[in-house]
Structure 1
């Protein structure tokens, strides 16, 4: 019987050492991710605040200028993160988002990519020549720019769908509050 107690104690020590080793590995992994900047954090994208990036002025439909809240999502056919973000949108309301698809070789290729993901084509622009993204100053995908009545107030990269979710709908406001999200100048966010 004493032998069993010694065996149980030895196994308990081994399990405890393994748990401490896993905690140490997790902490090391977090340090490595932070050092390599692999964290799931969006980066601000600077944009012109002089009214030159209204949807109608950059090549998007003019009716988008009138929407009180409009996330414009920039994705690419060659980006796996972009694909996962668009797939995440299938569970959401597409009526609130406009998608600009980049890096398609042709309009047809872009439309096939979008149809394959179940994206309503009426809410998209296939930016074959990159002119829409260039006019705004978007050079990274996936990215999002948020418009309020035709005026941009936030632009950032999207490392995951998790970062897009809070931007899909404006925050609820009390009657005495101002803008739904903190207004940003040159792509920075005030919190």
Structure 2
């Protein structure tokens, strides 16, 4: 969960009778490979989602705001402690995102989109932090905390999405996930 406060988007959606967005859920996968004893490199993909429903639910209406983002990160990890059962590391990475923000209310119905087809490079994205992982040999359950830079502007607009020009989704985050560390590229 990323704790975000996209103030400009929240002002618009709250004025339309929707709840404000306060966090983003994500589901993803990360694969790393040990390049040296003290450096692991890899890639991370995450599907990030957030939605905001009506403050006062009216059955006849289906008003909502939805955020959908694909994020890709090239990552480097520096292991501080590494064993068959536990791992502690710090990391940093850079990449990009494709983002879509849709809003539907009584007076607004539109979409903001920043995308480059099948690639994830429409907006810059970066993250840094630390993780603690428990597992066996190469598969770990990871507890990760960090900060991510995730600011999107220059949207392609369709319909009437309101006065939103940028989304600042940067902030601290906590992730619980699985990590596949150092999967061999060849079979002996």
TM bucket normalised to smaller? under 0.3
- Structure with higher Rg: it is 1
Higher strand content, 1 or 2? 2
**Does 1 or 2 have the higher relative contact order (CA < 8 Å, sep 6+)?**
1
Q: Compute the TM-score of the two structures, normalised by the length of structure 2.
A: 0.24
TM-score (norm 1): 0.24
